[in-house]
Structure 1
Amino acid sequence: MNKKLLAGAGIAFTLLFSSFSQAFAGEPTNGERKKVDNVAHRGATAYAPENTIAAFDLAVNMKADYIEIDVQRSKDGELVLIHDTTVDRTTDGTGKVGDLTFEQLRSLDAGSWKGEQFAGEKIPTFDEILDRYRGKVGILVELKAPELYPGMEEQVAAAIKKRNLDKPRNNKIIIQSFNFESMKKMDKLLPRVPIGVLTSNRAHTTPEALQQFATYADWFNPSYGIVTEELVNQVHSLGMKIGSWTVRSQEAADFLFEMKVDAIITDYPDYVDPRKK
């Protein structure tokens, strides 16, 4: 794992290292594209309701490298998959996720808003997703608003350890969040599992900020609007990888290919690889 290897280096060394890595990196030639991980954002959400089995199954069928999932917690302590902190947008219910019991959440229709053919899709549990997809596809686990759910990190870590997914040979689990303190905690709980930090804030792209992230994170995952070639080089020079989100156009995918990111997080897996239709 790359975290901490270069975290103590000075900024000047970082920039120097970046220059050398650019000069000697084995870049694709003759128009070839660098291999980029194709991450299905909340599943193949352009075509199926987000964070549902339907969307994840479709992503697997489209041969995505990873599915990205959003984890929250019910009032009675069940880890569930939903993006918003309320159920209003993606189900036929109303209210905050954390105010509803698992039984109440499970009774909701999480598919009809996307189309009649998805009527009856349920909000999945974290355990269900780990059991259904481990070994079939990589899983990028986002802890959504962990500050609302004290102890969530320990629950997630326990579920991963129970299935022996915290071992290096099973390096297809990544955990990420916008909450940096939560990710520091996850790094301590699961030191062999790659950790990612999410941001759309340019203030987090300074050399000083990146060096701090590199002390505990393996992935720096910014919105594509703040990605530059210089940023990619700096992230790589610190031993981290970079995955960018959320691609909803072919132009955005092509831009990120040009920037030489390591992963593209997309609603459209076929925009990252046209063969994945």
Structure 2
Amino acid sequence: MSDYLSGPGPIALAHRGGGREVPENSRAAVEHTLALGLGYLETDVHATADGVVVLSHDPTVDRVTDGTGAVGEMDWDRLATLRDASGERLLRLDELLSDYPDLRVNIDAKDDAVVGPLVDTLRAAGALDRVCLASFSDERLRRLRAELGPGVATSLGRRDTARLVAAARLGARVRRSVAGPAQGAVCVQVPPRYRGVPIVTRRFVATAHRHGLAVHVWTVDEPAEMVRLLDLGVDGLISDRPRVLREVLTARGAWH
């Protein structure tokens, strides 16, 4: 089993490296994460037309670079000519893993096309012990687990997360178990609420823990909300304001 979550908690994950403090998913964002003393980065990946995995939340480069077009329709040589708001080119996943060997990375596989290149990149980097793979797609996660084996850490997909929410609300009436550590799932990653309905409650946290799952909550940027969720016993917070999150954890004596 991966030792991705072997460190002390609660953990602070810089969402895209701290998108409200530095250009998201950039090398500058990675440097910002490390400068703050955070050991965890949350990021997103797409694959270029020639199979290079790059850090990018959107399927297109329009919002975060000086260019336009879909990542999956450009080869790496073309993509490398574009510049983000920090003045740098997009960061490749293989560069992230090789240049920052002590960083643990939560990787959201954003579409089906990235699965194969992502598997190849992780194998080549020998980095399975320090990544957690995430996706809204249960099928995408199933493919990643099948390719990489149960030794790689993953979060729950949408269907299993819904089952966990139901289990917390209905208890014994929910009979179907969710994926757990035996399938490689080490955590559930959820927003505090969905369409106005609270998701993260004390009962939800307890239910996740009974299934052997850590609870990570996204995207939490306000100090009062950070404190409220930490009081519920969550195991990690994903924030666009990692500097603020560090301050909250420090004030609680929970900064490691």
TM-score (norm 1): 0.75
The unaligned stretches of length 5 or more in structure 1 are 3-33, 112-117
- Pick from 141, 155, 158: which aligns with 2:107? 141
Give the alignment of 1:63-82 within 5 angstroms: 63-82=37-56
Q: Does structure 1 conserve the Cα–Cα contact (< 8 Å) formed by 2:153 and 2:186?
A: yes
Task: Provide the residue aligned with 1:105 in structure 2.
Answer: 79
- Stretch of structure 1 that moved more, 234-243 or 224-233: 224-233
Secondary structure at the aligned position of 2:42 is classed as strand
The unaligned stretches of length 5 or more in structure 2 are 3-7, 168-173, 194-198
- Stretch of structure 1 that moved more, 192-201 or 218-227: 192-201
Task: Provide the residue aligned with 2:190 in structure 1.
Answer: 222
Superposed CA deviations along residues 71-90 of structure 1, whole A, max 9, x for unmatched, are 10112221111101111111
Q: Does structure 1 conserve the Cα–Cα contact (< 8 Å) formed by 2:48 and 2:71?
A: yes
Task: Provide the residue aligned with 2:171 in structure 1.
Answer: none
> Shift in Å at residue 210 of structure 1?
8.0
Q: How much is the aligned-residue C-alpha RMSD, in angstroms?
A: 2.4
Q: Does 1:162 align with 2:124?
A: yes
Task: Provide the residue aligned with 1:195 in structure 2.
Answer: 154
Structure ID, larger Rg: 1
Superposed CA deviations along residues 200-257 of structure 1, whole A, max 9, x for unmatched, are 9984521259823326322110112221111111111011111110112112211221
Superposed CA deviations along residues 84-117 of structure 1, whole A, max 9, x for unmatched, are 1111111122222212222222111211xxxxxx
Task: Provide the residue aligned with 2:170 in structure 1.
Answer: none
Q: Does 1:131 align with 2:104?
A: no
1:199–1:229 distance in 2 versus 1, CA, 3 Å: farther
1:73–1:202 distance in 2 versus 1, CA, 3 Å: closer
- Pick from 232, 236, 239: which aligns with 2:212? 239
Q: Does structure 2 conserve the Cα–Cα contact (< 8 Å) formed by 1:74 and 1:98?
A: yes
- State how far apart, in whole Å, the 2-side matches of 1:99 and 1:173 are: 27
Q: Does structure 1 conserve the Cα–Cα contact (< 8 Å) formed by 2:137 and 2:158?
A: no
Superposed CA deviations along residues 128-180 of structure 1, whole A, max 9, x for unmatched, are 11111122x211111112x2x1xx333222222223223xxx4x321111111
Task: Provide the residue aligned with 1:153 in structure 2.
Answer: 115
Secondary structure at the aligned position of 1:121 is classed as coil
Q: Does 1:262 align with 2:229?
A: no
- Pick from 215, 226, 242: which aligns with 1:253? 226
1:209–1:60 distance in 2 versus 1, CA, 3 Å: farther
What amino acid does structure 2 have at the position aligned with 1:155?
P
Secondary structure at the aligned position of 1:76 is classed as coil
Q: Does structure 1 conserve the Cα–Cα contact (< 8 Å) formed by 2:97 and 2:127?
A: no
TM-score (norm 2): 0.81
